[in-house]
Structure 1
């Protein structure tokens, strides 16, 4: 993979020019953005996956759902449906995509979940079908500039800050580092839970936020319990364990499990991997499978795995969360 990146390096300036020109056209008003007269919060990143957008969306849902009518709108990456689709009782993971399906499975009693690659169209249809929706959470839409969100939350991983990366194809950035200037809030994700003051200052110096930008540090909180379709166990109950992941960066989970003293084989697949029947046949010979919640949404459809398949829930923890919560609530209440 590294060799491919090196060979592709000459294309990087061209990609940078194209994405920069696109952004300038929006900045200059030549390409038009659409405003909405209700709160729209965009959660996204500059890099290609792996920064923790799903836990952040779930954090915002938990923060706001008791006081406001919330809807999530995602592209629905790798879904088999087309156009606008609102989640309903008969919907399947292949209709929505794994992350929106996860939102629907966990929060369907309290929020509306929809997908549309055209976010403008998606927001308009959401409001037409659910006029009571007060706030729309846009998942992975930082580069979707046809919508002018009222609050932009940009995520970047602690161990791979956007300022240390390159644009595609040599690096992982979807656009140049200057794009971070559009963010209202920058969240450094996947930090060690107890991050020193010196480390924080080092990160702040590296990203050099604008005066109007708030920066927060966040970490992943893993549960002690694991869940299957039928029961709940503790991590210590798991025997002859195999970890199966299809996410961009499984390192934090691997490190957590090893820190708990668990021994396991790790079968790692690419992000949003579509497990095949051949994969499932291979998994049938395993004793106990632990996976992420996102991967569980795809694998739980196979009856042969139901007695051995478990997922470990995660939540986002935010340092100085009171200030973060206040900033989000202030925006939602005043919009």
Structure 2
């Protein structure tokens, strides 16, 4: 939906108030009045200044693939949208309802290579992990850029190419969780969801815009979203022709655009981010579904829908599209940067 400028302008005074409140909070942390606690593990944070999806999940997965095979690693999330509270370590009994959709996705992909846990209080979660697994040396924190109670070794800030933070305002006139100057805390910025072919001069312009809000010398990397081979909910690669899209993610537009350019999209059903699907939702999705058509979802939706569609006996009619982050010709530079920042700290 197109934003109306007059509404944004009317909300700007509230954004100034909200921004001032976050400024005060950051001032208290910056000056040691509120404390950031050091935990036993080395900590890499992946987060953003904006509300909504900037591609944190694929970046956490990318980092897990880099580190988990050589360094004992844990992923700690808040577990947004789960029906539980407190610290929970993912195990074979975990579901999206008990730990959240994204942590359950991490667990499904990386267990037992990496420990996955959720806890609203990240310091408490880190200490719980240390007590259970004192050998864990690296902690990846998902969506914790504003969670300043825990000290971090690397702060990676994501900025959506289509919604750059340097053109946005704090909530409610915009989508920022804090003012743009929060980027000063970043050790690197990744511009996510870029076009596959981004001209060098545009990269330079974006880098200069970002650098107005970061410390001098902070690297800026550019990455695209790679859509992998579609897979059925039964696990096998599947050839798609006609699809009915279902998505409950923060920004479904890129996913919808991808499907539209490659398949015949017969219908699109959009649900709220972190939506908890019900059996009646499954019935609605397969209602009047033609034999040559699949219901296609994101991987994040799949981890919640799969138990329901298996129980309904219609898993063969559902497919999902895995996604990953692709640094292109900057991959070596990013891997070298992040490993050099951590290599001598373990």
For 2:280 and 2:265, how far apart are their aligned partners in 1?
25
Once the two structures are TM-superposed, the CA of residue 127 in structure 1 deviates from its matched residue by 0.7
What SS does the aligned partner of 2:74 have? strand
* Matched-pair contact (CA < 8 Å) for 1:16–1:176: yes
Given candidates 326, 329, 332, the residue that maps to 2:339 is: 329
* Matched-pair contact (CA < 8 Å) for 1:165–1:171: yes
For 1:13 and 1:137, how far apart are their aligned partners in 2?
32
What SS does the aligned partner of 2:254 have? helix
* Matched-pair contact (CA < 8 Å) for 1:47–1:174: yes
Once the two structures are TM-superposed, the CA of residue 205 in structure 1 deviates from its matched residue by 1.9
Structure 2 counterpart of 1:50:
53
For 1:32 and 1:109, how far apart are their aligned partners in 2?
33
What SS does the aligned partner of 1:186 have? strand
Structure 2 counterpart of 1:283:
285
What SS does the aligned partner of 2:326 have? strand
Once the two structures are TM-superposed, the CA of residue 6 in structure 1 deviates from its matched residue by 5.8
Of the structure 1 ranges 108-117 and 297-306, higher mean CA displacement relative to structure 2 is found in: 297-306
Structure 2 counterpart of 1:212:
217
Given candidates 264, 267, 270, the residue that maps to 2:266 is: 264
Given candidates 308, 313, 319, the residue that maps to 2:322 is: 313
Once the two structures are TM-superposed, the CA of residue 78 in structure 1 deviates from its matched residue by 1.1
Q: For each residue in 1:278-313, what CA deviation from the matched residue of structure 2 results, as whole angstroms up to 9, or x when unmatched?
A: 322211313420000000011111122422111111
* Structure 2 residue ranges without an equivalent (≥5): none
Note if 1:299 corresponds to 2:309.
no
Structure 1 counterpart of 2:42:
39
Q: For each residue in 1:87-144, what CA deviation from the matched residue of structure 2 results, as whole angstroms up to 9, or x when unmatched?
A: 1111111000000000001111201000000000000100110111110000000000
For 1:239 and 1:317, how far apart are their aligned partners in 2?
25
For 1:76 and 1:179, how far apart are their aligned partners in 2?
24
For 1:249 and 1:58, how far apart are their aligned partners in 2?
19
For 1:129 and 1:227, how far apart are their aligned partners in 2?
36
For 2:304 and 2:41, how far apart are their aligned partners in 1?
34
Structure 1 counterpart of 2:249:
247
Once the two structures are TM-superposed, the CA of residue 39 in structure 1 deviates from its matched residue by 1.4
For 1:42 and 1:140, how far apart are their aligned partners in 2?
7
What SS does the aligned partner of 2:116 have? strand
Of the structure 1 ranges 105-114 and 33-42, higher mean CA displacement relative to structure 2 is found in: 33-42
User: What TM-score does the superposition give when structure 2 sets the normalisation length?
Assistant: 0.92
Once the two structures are TM-superposed, the CA of residue 224 in structure 1 deviates from its matched residue by 2.6
Note if 1:166 corresponds to 2:166.
no
Once the two structures are TM-superposed, the CA of residue 256 in structure 1 deviates from its matched residue by 2.0
* Matched-pair contact (CA < 8 Å) for 1:245–1:269: yes
* Matched-pair contact (CA < 8 Å) for 1:135–1:332: no
* Matched-pair contact (CA < 8 Å) for 1:184–1:212: no
For 1:332 and 1:135, how far apart are their aligned partners in 2?
9
User: What TM-score does the superposition give when structure 1 sets the normalisation length?
Assistant: 0.94
* Structure 1 residue ranges without an equivalent (≥5): none
Of the structure 1 ranges 316-325 and 119-128, higher mean CA displacement relative to structure 2 is found in: 316-325
* Matched-pair contact (CA < 8 Å) for 1:39–1:331: no
Note if 1:70 corresponds to 2:73.
yes
Q: For each residue in 1:238-282, what CA deviation from the matched residue of structure 2 results, as whole angstroms up to 9, or x when unmatched?
A: 244101011111222222222225333211122112223432221
Once the two structures are TM-superposed, the CA of residue 34 in structure 1 deviates from its matched residue by 0.8
Note if 1:123 corresponds to 2:126.
yes
